[in-house]
Structure 1
């Protein structure tokens, strides 16, 4: 992560997930999976969400593990941007 990205990450949500689609131009769909504790049953429940992220250079591919960060709305459904690629798909 370079200095510019570190400055912009203050106070913003950062998710890590897998790219499930890269078919759109400059857009990737990232599947973010989390485990949350159910308040009544005290059992961990797996939850997942798909977020659309802005990928300016189209560098992320399907299967890559990426980190995305909150950003201003780029379009109707796209409010995240690609921060870094953690691991490339094999």
Structure 2
């Protein structure tokens, strides 16, 4: 099964080798037919502490690294 890739924005880089990435998803509400935004925070492994708050990044699913980390930073997302 392929690993999932998500794009988001770094919201915290205070922990060593860990960043918190906010990922937003949009979907149409089934009853109201209105576009709804939902956000979720993921803790991702950043081995070199390269990324800072505000950076756009792509994260990839991985084997568990710690109790809460199951994602690894792949690259900086392209600026759009």
User: Does TM, scored on the shorter chain, surpass 0.5?
Assistant: yes
Candidates 30, 34, 41, aligned match of 1:43: 34
RMSD, aligned CA:
1.4
- 2:20 corresponds in structure 1 to 29
- Structure 1: stretches of 5+ with no match in the other structure: 1-9
Q: Separation in 2 of the partners of 1:66 and 1:87? A: 8
Question: Please, what TM-score do these two structures have when normalized by structure 1?
Answer: 0.82
Deviation at 1:53, TM superposition (A): 0.1
Deviation at 1:28, TM superposition (A): 0.2
Identify which range, 35-44 or 66-75, moves more after superposition: 35-44
Contact 1:64 1:87 in 2 (8 A): no
- Structure 2: stretches of 5+ with no match in the other structure: none
Describe how 1:58-69 pairs up with structure 2 within 5 A.
58-69=49-60
Q: Separation in 2 of the partners of 1:69 and 1:86? A: 12
Which aligned segments of 4 or more residues in structure 1 are displaced greater than 6 angstroms? none
Identify which range, 33-42 or 59-68, moves more after superposition: 33-42
